[in-house]
Chains A and B, each alone.
Chain A
Amino acid sequence: MADTFQAQILTPDGKRFEGSVQAVQVPGVGGSFEMRVDHAPIISTLAIGRARVITDTTELLYFAISGGFVEMNDNNMTLLAEAAERVEEIDVERAERAKARALEELMKRQKDKEVMLRALKRAENRLSLKEQQLEGKLD
Chain B
Amino acid sequence: MANLRDIRNRITSVNNTQQITKAMKMVAAAKLRKAQTRMNDTRPYAAKIREVVARLVKNASIDNELLRIPEENKRLLYIVIGSDRGLCGAFNNNLFKVVESRIRENHSSFLRSGTLDLVCIGKKSIAYFKKRGYPIKESHPGFFDNLNYTEAVKVIEQVMEEFTAGSYDEVYLAHNEFKSIIAQTRIVKKILPVDPAALIAELNMDDSDEAIDYIYEPGDKEILDRLLPLYLKIQLWSALLESNASEQGARMAAMDNATENAKELEQELRLKYNQARQSAITTEISEIVSGAQALKDV
Contacts and interface: CB of A to CB of B under 8 A. Distances in A.
Given A15-B41, A15-B44, A29-B218, A41 B227 contact: no
A42 B52 contact: no
B236 to A, nearest CB: 10
A136 interface: no
Given A10-B48, A11-B45, A15-B41, A43 B217 contact: yes
B212 A42 contact: no
Contacts of B222: 29, 45
B285 interface: no
B223 interface: yes
Contact of B217 (A10, A12, A42, A80): A42
A28 interface: yes
Contacts of A28: 217
B41 A14 contact: yes
Interface in B39-82: 41-42, 44-46, 48-49, 52
Q: B-side binding surface: helix, strand, loop or mixed?
A: helix
A82 B217 contact: no
Nearest to A67: B226
Q: How large is the interface on B (under 10, 10 to 19, 20 to 34, 35 or more residues)?
A: 20 to 34
Contact of B215 (A10, A42, A68): A42
Interface in A14-37: 14-15, 28-30
Interface in A61-88: 68-69, 71, 73, 78, 80, 82
Contact of A13 (B41, B153, B212, B215): B41
A102 B217 CA distance: 30
Given A12-B234, A69-B223, A43 B215 contact: yes
Interface of A: 8, 10-15, 28-30, 40-45, 68-69, 71, 73, 78, 80, 82
16 contacts: A10-B48, A12-B234, A15-B44, A28-B217, A29-B222, A40-B215, A41-B214, A42-B216, A43-B52, A44-B217, A69-B230, A73-B214, A78-B48, A80-B49, A80-B230, A82-B149
